[in-house]
Amino acid sequence: MFCSGMCLNFQNSTKIILNTHEKTIYISRHIFLLISALRPASPQLGKNSVQEVLNAMTLEEKVDLLVGAGMPGFGGPTVGQTENLVPGAAGTTKAIPRLGIPAIVLADGPAGIRISPTRQNDTQTFYATAFPIATLIASSWNLELAENIGKAMGKEALEYGADVLLAPALNLHRHPLNGRNFEYYSEDPIISGKMTAAAVNGIQSNGVGTSIKHFAANNQESLRSKNDVRIKNRTLRELYLKGFEIAVKESSPWTVMSSYNKINGTYTSESRELLTTVLRDEWKFDGIVMTDWFGGTNIVKQVHAGNDLLMPGIKPQKDAILQNVKDGKLDVKDVDVNVRRILDLILKTPRFKKYPYSNKPDLKAHALIAREAAAEGMILLKNEKLTLPISSETKIAAFGVTSYDFISGGTGSGDVNEAYIISLMDGLSAFSVERKLAEKYSVYVGDYKEKNKPDPNNPMAAFLNKPRMPELELSESEIGEYAKSTDMAIITIGRNSGEFEDRKTTNDFYLSDEEQNLISKVAKAYHSKGKKVVVILNVGGVIETASWKEKPDAILLAWQAGQEGGNSVADILSGKVGPSGKLTMSFPNDLKDVASNNNFPIDIELNFQEMMGGGPPNSAQEPRKNLEFTTYEEDLHVGYRDYITNKKQVSFPFGFGLSYTSFDFRNSKISGDSKVGFTLKVTVKNTGKAKGKEIVQIYRSNLNKDPDRELISFGKTKELAPGEVQILTFKINSEDFSIFDESINAWVTKAGNYHLLIGKSVSDIILTENVEIKEKFERRVIARF
Ligand code: BGC
């Protein structure tokens, strides 16, 4: 008789759970010590092989490893929160000390590590850097920048004791109103995949892991944990899986997070096709898959699918796995495969390696990285008659409540507990600012916040988006006074969103009446005095701009720029940094132009229970369109793929962004052939008077013109001085022209002549090169959906 099961000291006796029969008996402490001394030592992770450790595990211990350590106090799909090890992290696995297996810590998220900033009985604070949102990072089109932010985020995760950062997130911006678009990069899969790979490489260079999420096609928040995405294989492969494929192949993330939704009737966390055939067999992913928090319903299917870890982990899941193994409904071999992978992951973690984390990351250095990155991802949408940059003598009147309450990032798990937020007003301290107006706004904003505090009795309140603060009513004569006493007006328009809810049309995508009035009144007053007006968009996603964009002289899309946002805006306004960001999504003229608009939950109000993923089971009522299921009728016509192909006018096209200088593209040269691959060189010259960086976008033109144009590569110059030239080089191969042929389940490039379109945006093509593909390219895949 050996205690190879779980042993617990119990006063004078010791509770022993036997390995084979799982019976509990009590023996005296002395006998226990004698037996312990006689029995062979248990294998230890790291000292013995993973196989030996696995062989020594009881079924109960194995299941302990597959099911996370739990999340007290919550009962539905929600933002992760643990008090174990690193308070405020999203969750942990369970430790098995007998075998030397530590618990590891998983923490959100895409804009920096989310942990509790304070702890009970501890005077130290644990604030983290709020980096800019992913959409802003992508807008820089700078992969090195994405990697550097990753390095800083990863370092912070490491120093705060986390093992895996639950980031980056790369679902596509299928529709402008997805509540979580701010956490994602783009409407284009190439940008999304490349940005993700850069971020993963940066984060993981610290020896902590990542979890790329949410795999896959999680493109709406409304009823996200029941939503069935009905989609064609080609669309899935070319748009919604493509970014993940690039990321897995170019960066080897330690983990992947499966999504809440179903694809063609099967929960992604229960789909062996997705998690094993596609991810592991086709793409050679060798890490673990974890569920999103409380995701999926059928435990047997999840384990069999290769969804190794169930997070945050609840007792019924553990019981279900044990019971199903005992009943022969779940093969213990499936359990073993997943356990082995989790052990492999744990072996790599800082916690296993006993990394002495400091709890003191270099927040100052990281704030600087956040500030510089944020300025590079901001996009100048309009700049009539060189309204910007402005000199420090310019006297500014700042309108709009958001000027005084800057939004650093979105809500939910993508939020960060930062020590401070630099608002626009803080950032503008280098300029001369109209104080009377500032005072009036500050009092209004302060009062509003005092009266609208989150409900302390609702544990979810901190994670939900708050209603937008109404604008302060200002009379025309009052605005006229400020137009007299100042040189320029800045109006900030703010928007926020986050998990559980998609954005709404009224007062969100469309400006509210008060906002429209504010822009009209301020523009009228300032223009009547020959003075300029700048609108700053402090938003996490696309808003309507067509109806008002003629009114201001300049528009700066500042996004949600992290904790240093106000400073980054000031750096652009002053010209310290030349704007060089470009859109990674289109700004449509109107929602009715969005091809997926009929197949997206527009303005659907769900009750709290349903928002949290509860409510009646699917079978209790007719499945509702755009809730229980969403049909991706638009197929490939997402964003610019649709606007360009169907020649729809947009307010600002994909890839668009202005600069304080101008650039010329010249001397494009293509060499190589379809066998060895092509090399494209493009010369970029700064032809203007200011320093600046430029982005070169390479689109392919498809043989059948549907979609007409698709991004295949991009590059960004260093900062070029006026007159300076740089040659950018692009590697292009036959596969870059492939489309997914459902009839043979393969990626195929037909032989023929293709065009490469070299542009400043999708609709501003400067140069064209011809490419001849001599032999047909074909890459077969295994899975079908
Ligand atoms: C989100 C995930 C997040 C997890 C843990 C879920 O609600 O969808 O993105 O990582 O919570 O906080």
Q: Is the CB of 183 under 6 A from ligand 1?
A: no
User: Residue whose CA is closest, atom 8 of ligand 1?
Assistant: 292
Model pLDDT, residue 614? 78
What secondary structure, in 3-state letters, does 632-686 show?
Answer: CCCCCCCCHHHHHHCCCCEEECCCCCECCCCEEEEEEEEEEECCCEEEEEEEEEE
Last residue of a domain, one of 651, 672, 696: 651
**pLDDT given for residue 36 in this prediction:** 61
* Residue 78 CA, ligand 1 centroid: distance in Å: 7
Q: Is 293 in the pocket of ligand 1 (CB under 6 A)?
A: yes
Q: How far is the CA of 464 from the centre of ligand 1 (A)?
A: 13
Does residue 368 register a pLDDT over 90?
A: yes
Based on the fold, state whether residues 155 and 197 are members of the same structural domain: yes
**Cβ–ligand 1 contact at 225 (below 6 Å):** no
Give me the phi and psi of 586, to 5 degrees please: -90, 150
- Angle, helices 332-348 vs 315-326, to 10°: value is 140
Question: 540 and 499 in contact (C-beta within 8 Å)?
Answer: no
Residue 22, pLDDT > 90, answer no
Task: Please check whether residue 22 lies inside any domain of the structure.
Answer: yes
Buried-state track 182-207, b at ≥16 Cβ within 10 A, e below 16 = bbbbbbbbbbbbbbbbbbbbbbbebe
Q: In this structure, what CATH number is given to the domain that contains residue 745?
A: 2.60.40.10
| Pocket lining: 611 vs ligand 1, CB cutoff 6 Å | no
How far does the centroid of ligand 1 lie from the alpha carbon of residue 178, in Å? 15
Residues 548, 511 contacting (CB under 8 angstroms): yes
Residue 619 exposure: Cα atoms within 13 Å on the Cβ side = 0
Name the band, by pLDDT with cuts 50, 70 and 90, for residue 7. very low
Instruction: Kindly give, in sequence order, each residue whose CB lies less than 8 Å from that of residue 647, ignoring residues fewer than 6 positions away.
Output: none
Pairing of strands 288-290, 255-258: parallel
Is the per-residue pLDDT at 66 higher than 80? yes
Ligand 1 contacts CB of residue 168 (under 6 A): no
Alpha-carbon distance 406 to 11, whole Å?
57
Q: Amino acid letter at 637?
A: H
Ligand 1 pocket check for 80: Cβ under 6 Å:
yes
Residue 579 and residue 659 in contact, taking contact as beta carbons nearer than 8 Å: yes
What is the band of 527 on the pLDDT scale with cuts at 50, 70, 90?
very high
- Say which DSSP state 624 is in: P
Whether the per-residue pLDDT at 15 is higher than 60: the answer is: no
Look at the alpha carbons of 331, 335, 340, 341 in this order and tell me if their dihedral is positive or negative.
Answer: positive
pLDDT band at 165, cuts 50/70/90?
very high
Per residue in 448-481, pLDDT tens?
999 998 887 777 777 888 889 999 999 999 999 9
Q: What is the pLDDT of residue 75?
A: 53
**Measured in angstroms, how far is the CA atom of residue 729 from the centroid of ligand 1?**
38
Residue 665 clears pLDDT 90, i.e. is over it: yes
Of the three residues 348, 375, 396, the one that is the final residue of a domain is: 348
- The rounded Å distance from CA 672 to ligand 1 centre is 45
151 Cβ below 6 A of ligand 1? no
Atom of ligand 1 nearest to the CA of 81: 12
Q: What is the pLDDT of residues 118-146, one digit of tens each?
A: 999 999 999 999 999 999 999 999 999 99
Secondary structure class of 295 (helix, strand, coil): coil
pLDDT of residue 17: 43
Q: How far apart are CA 103 and CA 92, in angstroms?
A: 6
d(CA 29, ligand 1 centre) in Å: 44
Residue 550 has pLDDT above 80, yes or no: yes
Compute the average pLDDT of residues 376-397: 97
User: Atom 9 (ligand 1): residue with closest C-alpha?
Assistant: 413
Instruction: Compute, in angstroms, the gap from residue 90 CA to the centroid of ligand 1.
Output: 8
User: Is the confidence at residue 65, as pLDDT, over 70?
Assistant: yes
- Ligand 1 in contact with 165 (CB < 6 A)? no
Mutate to test the pocket of ligand 1, among 184, 255, 290, 292 (most ligand atoms within 8 A of CB): 292
Same domain, 406 and 485: yes
Residue showing tokens 């950018």: 728
Q: How confident is the model at residue 13 (pLDDT cuts 50, 70, 90)?
A: very low
Identify whether residues 384 and 506 lie together within a single domain: yes
Is the pLDDT at 772 greater than 90, yes or no?
A: yes
Domain range for 33 is: 7-38
CA distance 403 to 439: 12
Residue 182 in domain: yes
Atom nearest to 166 CA in ligand 1? 10
With a cut of 80, say whether residue 96 has pLDDT above it: yes
- How large is the average pLDDT for residues 634-656? 98
Q: List residues with catalytic annotation.
A: 292
DSSP class of 554: E
* Residues 184-187: contacts with CB under 8 Å, at least 24 apart: 184/134, 184/135, 185/134, 185/135, 185/137, 185/138, 185/243, 185/584, 186/135, 186/138, 186/584, 186/585, 187/584, 187/585, 187/586, 187/638, 187/639, 187/640, 187/654
For the segment 348-373, the average pLDDT, to the nearest whole number, is 98
Q: Which pLDDT belongs to residue 343? A: 98
Q: For residue 703, is pLDDT > 90?
A: no
- Which pLDDT band holds residue 16 (cuts at 50, 70, 90)? very low
Look at residue 666 and tell me whether its pLDDT is greater than 50.
yes
Give yes or no for residue 237 CB within 6 A of ligand 1.
no
State mean pLDDT over 421-441.
95
The SS3 assignment for 739 reads strand
pLDDT digits (tens, 9 = 90+) for 196-241: 999 999 999 999 999 999 999 999 999 999 999 999 999 999 999 9
**Average pLDDT rounded to a whole number, residues 276-289:** 98
Out of 74, 93, 166, 294, give the residue to mutate to test ligand 1, the one with the largest number of ligand atoms within 8 Å of its CB.
Answer: 166
Tell me if 592 is assigned to some domain: no
Q: Is 213 in the pocket of ligand 1 (CB under 6 A)?
A: yes
- Computed over every residue of the chain, the mean pLDDT equals 94
The torsion angle over the Cα atoms of residues 299, 304, 307 and 311, rounded to 10 degrees, is 20
**Number of domain units in the chain:** 5
Ligand 1 atom having least distance to the Cα of 108: 10
- When pLDDT is averaged across residues 269-283 and rounded to a whole number, the result is 98
591 is a domain residue = no
212 lines ligand 1 (CB under 6 A): no
Proportion of the chain above pLDDT 90, given as a percent: 88
Domain match, 80 and 206 both: yes
Q: 530 vs 399, 550, 761, CA distance in Å?
A: 18, 16, 32
pLDDT for res 256: 98
Question: Looking at residue 72, what is its pLDDT?
Answer: 75
> Would you state the pLDDT for residue 608?
85
* Ligand 1 atom closest to residue 169's alpha carbon, by position in its atom list: 9
Greater pLDDT, 72 or 741: 741
Which residues, 6 or more positions from 141, have their beta carbon under 8 angstroms from its beta carbon? 191, 581, 582, 584, 695, 714, 716
Residue whose CA is closest, atom 5 of ligand 1?
80
Task: Take atom 12 of ligand 1 and give the residue whose Cα is closest.
Answer: 80
pLDDT for position 26: 61
Is the CB–ligand 1 distance for residue 290 below 6 Å? no
Predicted confidence (pLDDT) at residue 147 exceeds the cutoff of 70: yes
- Ligand 1 centroid to residue 538 C-alpha, Å: 24
| Same domain as 625, residue 736 | no
Could you tell me the pLDDT band of residue 35, with boundaries at 50, 70 and 90? low
Q: Which whole-number Å values give the CA distances from 37 to 4, 98, 361, in the listed order?
A: 13, 14, 44
Q: What residues are paired with 488 via a beta bridge?
A: 396, 532
Q: Angle between the 189-204 and 143-159 helix axes, to the nearest 10 degrees?
A: 40
Residue 508 bridge partners (DSSP)? none
**45 pLDDT higher than 60:** yes
Short-list 359, 435, 368, 365, CA closest to 397: 435
Q: What's the pLDDT band for 19 if we cut at 50, 70, 90?
A: very low
CA distance 227 to 147: 33
CATH of residue 323's domain is 3.20.20.300
State whether 343 and 470 are in the same domain.
no
236: burial class by Cβ within 10 Å (0-12, 13-18, 19+)?
A: buried
Q: In this structure, are 412 and 461 located in the same domain?
A: yes
2 pLDDT above the threshold of 90: no
- Residue 785 in any domain: the answer is no
Question: 359 in helix, strand or coil?
Answer: coil
| Nearest protein CA to atom 7 of ligand 1, as residue | 79
Query: Can you tell me the distance from the alpha carbon of 415 to that of 402, in angstroms, rounded to the nearest whole number?
Result: 18
Tell me, yes or no, whether 260 and 339 share the same domain.
Answer: yes
Position 9 scores a pLDDT of: 42
* pLDDT tens per residue across span 97-112: 999 999 999 999 999 9
Three state DSSP letters for 95-153: CEHHHCECCCEEEECCCCCCCCCEECCEEEECCCCCCCCHHHHHHCCCHHHHHHHHHHH
Same domain? For 539 and 669 the reply is no
What mean pLDDT comes out for the span 157-176? 98
Regarding whether 571 and 638 lie in a shared domain, the answer is no
- Does 184 contact ligand 1 (Cβ within 6 A)? no
What is the distance in A from the centroid of ligand 1 to the CA of 108? 7
Answer yes or no: is the C-beta of 291 below 6 A from any ligand 1 atom.
no
**Residue 486's CATH number:** 3.40.50.1700
Cα–ligand 1 centroid distance for 529 (angstroms): 51
Question: Is any ligand 1 atom within 6 A of the Cβ of residue 415?
Answer: no
Residues 318 and 404 placed together within one structural domain of the fold: no
The pLDDT score that the predictor gives to residue 18 is 43
Cis bond before residue 558 (omega within 30° of 0) = no
Pocket probe for ligand 1: among 222, 255, 499, the residue whose CB has the most ligand atoms within 8 Å is 499
Q: Mean pLDDT, to the nearest integer, of 514-527? A: 98
Same domain, 123 and 258: yes
Percent above pLDDT 70 for the chain: 94
- According to the model, what pLDDT value does residue 74 have? 57
Output the pLDDT for position 39.
66
Mean per-residue pLDDT, 429-444: 95
- The answer to whether the CB of 682 falls within 8 A of the CB of 665 is yes
Q: What is the DSSP letter of 310?
A: B
pLDDT at residue 38, as a whole number? 65
Burial of 593 (0-12, 13-18, 19+ CB in 10 A): middle
Of 517, 505, 506, the residue nearest 548 (C-alpha): 517
Last residue of a domain, one of 620, 651, 682: 651
Q: Is residue 143 part of a domain?
A: yes
